[in-house]
Amino acid sequence: MEKQYTILVVDDETDILESVFFELQLEGFNVLKASGGKEAWKIFSDEKTIDLVITDVRMPEGDGVELLERLKENSPEHPAVLFITGHNDISDKESKEKGAQSIIAKPFKISRLMSEIKKCPDDEEKS
């Protein structure tokens, strides 16, 4: 049986969160969502099967950089992390040094997001 690829989407902007959640479900992914880093960490702690985290950088309830650091402390190789941001809080170089796969500037097209997802590890296990 083929493994279902699981993505956790984290953003405090409800319209972006719901839009990305919906689009990824249409692509056949198992998708979970959280509105901040603290909620995302709880979900990750409960759901050890998350393959990819797509997270905003700047959020009031735990930012994406803190979330990335906690994820990498817990499991250095997994899950892959993509940042999305509307600010210049972190450079592409800095995000990669911290362990993120990529950073995508808001606003973005879903096709760009899908392209970045395909570059993430465990590519062969995706739907």
Confidence at residue 3, expressed as pLDDT on a 0 to 100 scale: 62
Q: Does domain 6-118 have CATH number 3.20.20.190?
A: no
Q: Which residues of the chain have pLDDT under 50?
A: 1, 123-127
Q: How far apart are CA 16 and CA 5, in angstroms?
A: 21
Say if CB 83 and CB 91 are below 8 A apart.
no
d(CA 114, CA 27): 9
Given 3-state DSSP classes, what are the helix, strand and coil percentages for the chain, each rounded to the nearest 5?
Answer: 40, 20, 40
How confident is the model at residue 127, as a pLDDT? 43
Q: State the Cα–Cα distance between residues 21 and 15, nearest whole angstrom.
A: 10
H runs (alpha helix) in the chain: 14-26, 37-46, 64-74, 92-98, 110-118
